[in-house]
Structure 1
């Protein structure tokens, strides 16, 4: 009878459980069937694009005046999006380190809850031998009661695992920092390359468009002359071919240089189309470094890639220690406070504590495998580091040789540009205003502009090769301590830091400050009917085109030029006498330039000869004025 009653009481809860479970199952299935893919609307996409575009350029300082190379580097450091990403990754690594350090703390678990049931829990006792109920059904738990506890626990094995994971995460922070250094060094290299190419474009693009228009007009005249029979067909086509070749070369050089400014604005994160003026300050190239062994030692110590490998090796050593530590027994200490509102309990609150030790004995069998894996990992790390070290040493030597070759190429391009400028001047001087003479003059002018583009491109390549030497050694952009973060302050700190660090690589740095002497022009004598002002303007253009300054200054060099005529073997000759005096009036240079005179002496011919004469002493003027000298590199 008692057993029957107990069984009936147990069955009372069954009719309530099944309907509730069925209802929950129906709700879950209904919810799963209502989820459908929802594409973004065009308004949401447009809002995201507008938000991103505003965020890309938010908070940037406005441009003020011409931009120097250190200004461009400062803006790249502060606003470049790739560098910002690396900064965020470094910050993320530091946050993960903080999380790993928190894992080493003991655990203090607080727990609270509420319990309710629709009937009483409890039980009875049944005899083992006869199966008869020996006690009536009873309960020691209320249908509704509250529980709470606070347990402090500390596991020695968990602490060891967390300790080694934290040490590994600390080295991950160091790796993120080295990757940030590498990204910054690459950005500096790209900024240096784009800056000098953009500066070359800035110097020459204004002269390119008028010449392109003249060539286009000359092509039309040549076609008309060929159709009218003034020029033989073969000669007319040859001139057209020559002019088209000159136009093609001119467009190619112009496009190469024009793209550099767009690259520079992207690197410093300026909005596309922002007007950008670069400061045109002559910067001498440094002689190539000779102490290669010293550079190789510096590279092996400074390169971010090798430092990253050092940290990876240390991470692997911590991994081995962590695996060995996992073999030890787990010692767990715990203590806690407990409370239960159940009125049937004799003690509603109590304190408990204990110690537990556990160990997986089968893990001891993994000791040989852990040892073999550790040896293999160490050998792999050493091999990878050795291979990378060899690549770094090769990069140092290749970068140094490239700089030597780039310096030599610039020397040749500079001399070629001066020769082509002189040819263009002489061609203009001997032009007799005939169609063939004008076409030849245009062709020499186009070649002169192309040569100057090549000179600017070679100089940019030499500066880029200079930067690659610094990059191969692992030179940093910033000093150890940065005091201010506005663009002007960053620019000054970058310029100072680069000069100090570059001096450890190059005996004379490319950014070294030298005293600059502007050129003052004085035309003392010209033939009658020749415009002295036109001659002075042409000479001034030649001086500025060769990276010399005309700004008035107390320490200016005074270039005096006087023209005279002579005769030899029945041929008229023109002589330009040039004297250069320093600020004190002392004569530091005297030269004469002699050339044949055309039959008709005009402002055009005398001006062209004056340009050729000035070009003949350009190297001397650069040396006296402190501008970039002609390099003495060997191929």
Structure 2
């Protein structure tokens, strides 16, 4: 009875363990509290250790903050560090293996055996054993494989090239961040200049619309005239509202690019506008520079070497492998004559059937090289197209700036005339509001054209592939980064983009 009870209890315990194991495999979604804690931790990571905004933000300050705090750029930095760590791991695989072991062996009966005669098949010895039931085992062995060394060698070369590829991706992200900041900064600065005036004019327009509705109710003017007046005011309100939304989006985009914490007031430095540079290089020279400096081309070039290493690894596995072993062993078995000993071994092995892969590997290597070259050539063609389009876009953007400046001058004169001819009549007030609206719209168009020209210059700069940061930086605080970005951009623009055919620097440079 006792045995049955014990069996029942053991069966119940076993069932309970199995059921708990099965329940542990069921999906368990995160709780609301875990999600809340995760959000808090992620937000803290987004805005951790940011230098506060203590002064109006210049363009170079914005670029420095974007490159330091932008999450995409920080991710690429981590990828570069990870690639370097993986290279170090691969390099250690070329070393011999030094393995230390310790263990305990036991059995519930004795091992042993008997001997029989080969000719008469008669037992010649009584059963005996030379091994203890329980014993301790220790060992320290050194082994080296030629095949493992060769594979690790090629893998390390691959990882080294992948470090270079990660660095090229980091360069590209930095260039894209600078381009996005340049585009958003000048639009946000235009928004900062125009928003107060747009808001004031919107308030005046709403008041004028209210007065027009009162005049319609009282019958002070003909109904058709007053409705036309209201229609003109509503059109002005619509245009101003749309422009105001564009301005607000620019500030929000810049705040996101520099990873500004929510609720932080963004004030931009409003100084004299930089002179739009006059491009001094020919299109052919810019194309040549783009083929030399674009990170995408360099990354594809390194990728070709990575693919070549894969094929070298596959070929290395076809040839004979030489393995060398040397080690020390200890066995606590008291029946052994020598309980410790040194062992050595040398082995040469080769899979003869794998040699059949050699023709296919040679063909694959040739096809892979052609594919890599064609991919790089196609990318180069796309980059040359970007340079040509970038040059044309920047030239057209400069012309648009000149046109909007002429329009702004005319609308300013019309506004002055409307202000001088102002009277108490509704029509006069409407004409003044229209003139102010046209003037603000011209200012908006001029700011938009200037920011578009800056963006076109940034795209051209990006299409050539010039770096944003120098190779070495002493410190990485915002002021140092801002100063280094400004110095780097000035030097590269003056030496590579603004140099005329005779080698004389162009006078029009960025601030």
Distance 1:426 1:132 in 2: 132
Conservation of the 8 A alpha-carbon contact between 2:63 and 2:178: yes
CA positional deviation for 1:204: 0.9
RMSD of aligned Cα (Å):
1.9
The question of 1:394 aligning with 2:358 is answered no
Please report the TM-score for the alignment, with normalisation by the length of structure 2: 0.93
Equivalent residue for 1:109, pick from 99, 118, 125: 99
**Higher RCO (CA < 8 A, seq sep 6+):** 2
User: Secondary structure of the residue that 2:497 maps to in structure 1?
Assistant: coil
- Alignment correspondent of 1:506: 498
User: Secondary structure of the residue that 1:345 maps to in structure 2?
Assistant: coil
- Alignment correspondent of 1:419: 410
Distance 1:398 1:363 in 2: 52
Conservation of the 8 A alpha-carbon contact between 1:396 and 1:473: yes
The question of 1:448 aligning with 2:458 is answered no
The question of 1:155 aligning with 2:145 is answered yes
**Which structure 2 segments of 5+ residues have no match?**
1-9, 500-505
Distance 2:421 2:22 in 1: 90
User: Secondary structure of the residue that 2:348 maps to in structure 1?
Assistant: strand
Equivalent residue for 1:343, pick from 334, 338, 344: 334
Conservation of the 8 A alpha-carbon contact between 2:276 and 2:510: no
User: Secondary structure of the residue that 1:33 maps to in structure 2?
Assistant: helix
The 3 A distance-change label for structure 1 pair 23 and 303 is: farther
The question of 1:255 aligning with 2:245 is answered yes
**Which structure 1 segments of 5+ residues have no match?**
1-20, 514-635
- Alignment correspondent of 1:48: 38
User: Secondary structure of the residue that 2:410 maps to in structure 1?
Assistant: helix
Distance 2:497 2:35 in 1: 50
Aligned runs of 1:319-398 on 2, under 5 Å?
319-398=310-389
Conservation of the 8 A alpha-carbon contact between 1:289 and 1:400: no
Write the deviation string for residues 494-526 of structure 1: whole angstroms up to 9, x where unpaired.
10011001121124486545xxxxxxxxxxxxx
Write the deviation string for residues 399-439 of structure 1: whole angstroms up to 9, x where unpaired.
11001111111111111112112111101101122111111
- Alignment correspondent of 2:465: 474
Equivalent residue for 2:282, pick from 283, 291, 306: 291
Write the deviation string for residues 309-362 of structure 1: whole angstroms up to 9, x where unpaired.
110111122222222222110011111111111100000011110210000111
Conservation of the 8 A alpha-carbon contact between 1:479 and 1:493: yes
CA positional deviation for 1:477: 0.8
Write the deviation string for residues 205-260 of structure 1: whole angstroms up to 9, x where unpaired.
11111110111111122222233333222222222222111111111111111111
Q: Which structure shows the higher strand fraction? A: 1
Distance 2:17 2:155 in 1: 40
Distance 1:216 1:391 in 2: 51
The question of 1:89 aligning with 2:89 is answered no
User: Secondary structure of the residue that 1:136 maps to in structure 2?
Assistant: coil
Equivalent residue for 2:394, pick from 361, 381, 403: 403
Write the deviation string for residues 450-502 of structure 1: whole angstroms up to 9, x where unpaired.
11111111111110001001000011111121111111111111100110011
Moved more, 313-322 or 278-287: 313-322
Equivalent residue for 2:265, pick from 261, 271, 275: 275
- Alignment correspondent of 2:194: 204
Distance 1:245 1:260 in 2: 23
- Alignment correspondent of 1:608: none
Conservation of the 8 A alpha-carbon contact between 1:115 and 1:146: yes
CA positional deviation for 1:24: 11
Conservation of the 8 A alpha-carbon contact between 2:281 and 2:497: no
The 3 A distance-change label for structure 1 pair 509 and 84 is: farther
Distance 1:405 1:451 in 2: 18
Distance 1:321 1:48 in 2: 45
Conservation of the 8 A alpha-carbon contact between 1:179 and 1:304: yes
Equivalent residue for 2:22, pick from 27, 33, 37: 33
Conservation of the 8 A alpha-carbon contact between 2:279 and 2:497: no
| Pair member with larger Rg | 1
The question of 1:437 aligning with 2:428 is answered yes
Distance 1:308 1:398 in 2: 23
Distance 1:439 1:103 in 2: 81
CA positional deviation for 1:62: 1.0
| Count of paired positions | 493
Please report the TM-score for the alignment, with normalisation by the length of structure 1: 0.75
- Alignment correspondent of 1:70: 60
- Alignment correspondent of 1:138: 128
Q: Which structure shows the higher helix fraction? A: 2
Conservation of the 8 A alpha-carbon contact between 1:94 and 1:173: yes
- Alignment correspondent of 1:317: 308
CA positional deviation for 1:387: 0.6
